[in-house]
Amino acid sequence: MKRITIEPVSRIEGHAKITIQLDDQGHVAGTEFHVTQVRGFEKFTEGHPFYEMPGITARICGICPISHLLAASKACDAIMAVRIPPAAKKLRELAHFAQIVQSHTLSFFYLSAPDFLLGMDSDPASRNVLGVIAQNPELARDGIELRKFGLQIIEGLAQERVHPAWIVPGGVASPLAGATRDRILSELPAAKAIADRTIRFFKGALDNYKEEIEFFGSAPTMYAGLVDRKGNLQLYDGGLRFRSAAGEVVEDHIPAEEYAQWIGEASLRESYLKAPFFKPQGFPAGVYRVGPLGRLNAADQCGTPDADVEFREFHQRFGAVAHSAFLYHYARLVEIVYALERIEMLLADPQILETHVRATAGVNALEGVGMIEAPRGTLIHHYKVNEEGAITWVNLIVATGHNNLAIGRSVQQVSEHFIDGTRLTEGMLNRVSAVVRAYDPCLSCSTHASGLLAMTIRLLDSDGKLLDELATD
Amino acid sequence: MKKVKVATVWLDGCSGCHMSLLDMDAAIISLARKIDLVYGPLVDAQEFPEDVDVTLVEGAVSSQDDLNKIQKIRQRTHVLISLGDCAVTGNVPAMRNSIPVQKLLQRIYVDGAQEGKIVPCDRVPTLLKQARPLREFVKVDLCLPGCPPPSKAIFTVINDLLDGKKPDANRKVKFG
């Protein structure tokens, strides 16, 4: 028995490694996906005032701090038992859609585009965003500009791009200025044009990735995502829907405060990332996926015109329930189209400029749950407090966690298909990393991570003796 | 002209400092002409290379793996920069420091799970007793505080170093 270690998995948001066991014939016998760091937010926040939670938990992730600010603030709204002002809800949504745009753009252009544009087997020394800048400067510039568009909305609302202290319990800290709205609206057509160019480019390139689409985590699973009463895609509010691999709605409109009836968490020996599962099916049978692919499978439609055209084409091409993890990339681009449309709709609503944007109250409930769709999937913050408002207990279920079991299975499938232990190549192992990349896991969110991108591939025998080493130089 | 070798490293942080680095937006295109990004979360380099000119390190030192990495990085780097509050002071990762590690792990993986209920132990790195700032383990040449440091501050420091100037990090300094 030999063992291959891919450490760390490169171009992901966090630190992970993969172990692949080979049998004596060089066939893949088993794989493990390890997330290798833990930070302990659920414990060290005990004793802090509940209203500090948005600011502290935002530091879970610098890529999508808005997600944690929103889920934490919603949990705090529940503890205060307030309904936030209508303009505050719209402003929170605006910041959220802006974040969806910037985060999906980072995943597509900065982290995964090197695989599509330069090739899965291309030289690892230049298979990165600087390589994309050199090879296809127009596409690289599109990525930079689209990310900037999303972040400038956040900066316009909150004065900071990373970790703004603007989304607060009870609403938001300050209203939107008319001039900021007008500036965003003036930049929107250029952002929409980039989204349109990119999705057309990607759809045109899909035929080059038939093998990846077929073997990249294509085993059917359940899917979960937030929807409204009409089955429209929702990212900020809505109830949680589980849809089966065959396409039936298994559970629908689960409110935030009932999540624990349906979602359990399992600890794993080999990873600091716990594995949530769908409780009625138990562990490990209750595997489901979240995130862009999960949401497009769970929802009946997006509910905006341009995104619905893309939504229908997506499902016409890949079925009512699309199973390949490679299609996360495609789903991410559909969601960028959706988010830009929602930004436009929100800004067209005069209520967005209203100046009453924050409700105030003390502790009116000893427990609160906030649930949203973060860029990578369903995010749940659950707090308990004492009567003084000090945190006594916290549970966080983050987007990438839900996908933990599925990522593990996808790694196994890709390894079995692409790896030949008798003639190891870097390109084979890059495909194993690429399937992890397709999920856009935020291991920073899921435990925290140390995200180094080096890749050392070592072939060990069962005693740990080094048999072969592959340098990605 | 020989390109300057730059590396970025992410230990126990949230990646927000790396995002602030990318927030230079299109300036990365001109920077790309002057530097080779030889290691970091955005590239596929293997080992941390020898003879790196500038390394920016985000995050505190929190696990045995972090500690091994930072010692190797120090040996192979000319100018080592603590990027952001976690690297400079410990910041949010250090909020766990008053809690014994076993108690922390017990809360998350045993009390906080319905299945498994085991503290991960197979091929995952051991946590250090406390998350500590970089300078407690290695010599740091420059501290760039902030949570995260402003993009302009990072950009200015990199450019000063590229111009052969001693960076004045106080110009755009930000706390918290």
Contacts of A61 in chain B (CB under 8 A): 14-16
**Which residue among A19, A127, A451 places its CB closest to the CB of B10?**
A451
Average pLDDT over residues A224-236: 98
B105 to chain A: closest CA residue: A40
Rounded CA separation A115/B114 (Å): 38
Residues A156, A194 share a domain? yes
Are B14 and A125 inside 8 Å of each other by CB?
A: no
Q: So where are chain B's domains?
A: 4-162
Are B43 and A17 inside 8 Å of each other by CB?
A: no
Residues A461, A436 share a domain? yes
Confidence of residue B1 (pLDDT cuts 50, 70, 90): low
| Of A454, A441, A445, nearest in space to A410 by CA | A441
Dihedral class, residue A241 (left if φ above 0, else alpha if ψ from -120 to 50, else beta): beta
The per-residue pLDDT for B2 is: 82
Contacts of B16 in chain A (CB under 8 A): 59, 61-63, 65, 162-163
Residues A124, A24 share a domain? no
A238 assigned to some structural domain = no
Helices assigned H by DSSP within chain B: 16-22, 27-34, 64-75, 85-89, 101-105, 151-162
Report yes or no: A455 and A445 within 8 Å, Cβ to Cβ: no
The per-residue pLDDT for A472 is: 33
A118 assigned to some structural domain = yes
Are B16 and A15 inside 8 Å of each other by CB?
A: no
A137 assigned to some structural domain = yes
* Segment of A126-140, A166-180, A393-407 carrying the highest mean pLDDT: A166-180
A146 to chain B: closest CA residue: B25
Those residues whose C-beta lies under 8 Å from the C-beta of residue A242, and which sit 6 or more positions away, are: A222, A223, A224, A249, A250, A251, A252, A254, A262, A278, A288, A298
Confidence of residue A26 (pLDDT cuts 50, 70, 90): confident
**Percent of chain A residues past pLDDT 70, beyond the cut:** 93
The per-residue pLDDT for A443 is: 62
Ranking A6-10, A308-312, B142-146 by mean pLDDT, the lowest is A6-10
A124 assigned to some structural domain = yes
**DSSP character at residue A13:** B
Q: Which two tokens stand for residue B80?
A: 């080592």
Residues 62-91 of B with CB under 8 A from A: 62-63, 65-66, 69, 91
State the residue for tokens 């250029």.
A190
pLDDT digits 0-9 by tens, B41-79 = 888 876 899 999 999 999 999 999 999 999 999 999 999
Indicate whether A468 pLDDT > 90. Answer: no
Those residues whose C-beta lies under 8 Å from the C-beta of residue A434, and which sit 6 or more positions away, are: A112, A115, A120, A212, A216, A414
A268 assigned to some structural domain = no
Q: Which two tokens stand for residue B74?
A: 């120090």
Shortest Cα–Cα distance, A38 to chain B (Å): 8
Average of per-residue pLDDT values in chain B: 92
Are A43 and B96 inside 8 Å of each other by CB?
A: yes
| Of A157, A319, A294, nearest in space to A235 by CA | A294
Q: Is B10 helix (H, G, I), strand (E, B) or coil?
A: strand
Residues A351, A386 share a domain? no
pLDDT digits 0-9 by tens, A33-73 = 888 778 899 999 999 999 999 999 999 999 999 999 999 99
Number of domains in chain A: 3
Are A283 and B116 inside 8 Å of each other by CB?
A: yes
**Which residue among A42, A133, A162 places its CB closest to the CB of B19?**
A162
Residues A44, A11 share a domain? no
pLDDT digits 0-9 by tens, A252-310 = 999 999 999 999 999 999 888 899 999 999 999 999 999 999 999 999 999 999 999 99
Residues A159, A72 share a domain? no
> Domain of A172: which CATH number?
1.10.645.10
Are B14 and A471 inside 8 Å of each other by CB?
A: no
B26 lies within 8 A of chain A by CB: yes
**Percent of chain B residues past pLDDT 70, beyond the cut:** 97
Contacts of A396 in chain B (CB under 8 A): none
A232 assigned to some structural domain = no
Rounded CA separation A127/A427 (Å): 11
Confidence of residue A5 (pLDDT cuts 50, 70, 90): confident
The per-residue pLDDT for B97 is: 97
Are B124 and A36 inside 8 Å of each other by CB?
A: yes
- CA angle, corner A307, sides to A304 and A308, nearest 5? 75
| Of A17, A115, A7, nearest in space to B47 by CA | A7
Higher pLDDT, B148 or A469: B148
Contacts of A14 in chain B (CB under 8 A): 15
Report yes or no: B31 and B156 within 8 Å, Cβ to Cβ: no
Average pLDDT over residues A143-169: 96
B129 lies within 8 A of chain A by CB: no
Q: Is A265 helix (H, G, I), strand (E, B) or coil?
A: strand
Higher pLDDT, A250 or A34: A250
Domain that holds residue A197: 84-217+345-360
The per-residue pLDDT for A455 is: 36
Report yes or no: A112 and A168 within 8 Å, Cβ to Cβ: no
Residues A208, A190 share a domain? yes
Residues A352, A210 share a domain? yes
A18 assigned to some structural domain = yes
**Which residue among B47, B62, B112 places its CB closest to the CB of A456?**
B47
A21 assigned to some structural domain = yes
Residues 374-403 of A with CB under 8 A from B: 395
Residues 339-368 of A with CB under 8 A from B: none
Average pLDDT over residues B110-118: 94
Those residues whose C-beta lies under 8 Å from the C-beta of residue A294, and which sit 6 or more positions away, are: A223, A224, A225, A288, A377, A402
Rounded CA separation A260/A203 (Å): 38
What Cα–Cα distance (Å) separates residue A328 from each residue in A98, A130, A218, A377, B128? 19, 23, 11, 11, 36
Amino acid (1-letter code) at residue B118:
I
pLDDT digits 0-9 by tens, A366-380 = 999 999 999 999 999
Range B4-162 classified under CATH 3.30.70.2860: no
Contacts of B46 in chain A (CB under 8 A): 124, 454-456, 471-473
**Which residue among B15, B117, B127 places its CB closest to the CB of A62?**
B15
Amino acid (1-letter code) at residue A65:
P
Residues A76, A92 share a domain? no
**Percent of chain B residues past pLDDT 90, beyond the cut:** 82
Please spell the DSSP secondary structure of A90-118, one letter per residue.
HHHHHHHHHHHHHHHHIIIIIIIHIIIII
Shortest Cα–Cα distance, B124 to chain A (Å): 5
Are B19 and A62 inside 8 Å of each other by CB?
A: yes
Indicate whether A471 pLDDT > 50. Answer: no
Rounded CA separation B91/B143 (Å): 14
Indicate whether A458 pLDDT > 70. Answer: no
For this complex, say whether ipTM is above 0.90: yes
Report yes or no: B87 and B66 within 8 Å, Cβ to Cβ: no
Confidence of residue A13 (pLDDT cuts 50, 70, 90): confident
B121 lies within 8 A of chain A by CB: yes
Rounded CA separation A404/A445 (Å): 13
State CA A280 to chain mean position distance: 24
Average pLDDT over residues B123-150: 95
Shortest Cα–Cα distance, B119 to chain A (Å): 7
Residues 405-444 of A with CB under 8 A from B: 430, 444
The per-residue pLDDT for A67 is: 96
Q: Which two tokens stand for residue A303?
A: 């509910």
Those residues whose C-beta lies under 8 Å from the C-beta of residue A346, and which sit 6 or more positions away, are: A90, A93, A94, A97, A352
Rounded CA separation A317/A174 (Å): 44
Residues A139, A28 share a domain? no
Contacts of B48 in chain A (CB under 8 A): 454
Average pLDDT over residues A238-250: 98
Residues A460, A423 share a domain? yes
The per-residue pLDDT for A449 is: 29
A264 to chain B: closest CA residue: B114
B102 lies within 8 A of chain A by CB: no
Residues A188, A152 share a domain? yes
Cross-strand partners of B115: A266
Shortest Cα–Cα distance, B110 to chain A (Å): 8
Average of per-residue pLDDT values in chain A: 91
Burial of B134 per CB tally in 10 Å (0-12, 13-18, 19+): buried
Q: Which two tokens stand for residue A165?
A: 């202290």
| Of A130, A128, A6, nearest in space to A433 by CA | A6
Are B16 and A62 inside 8 Å of each other by CB?
A: yes
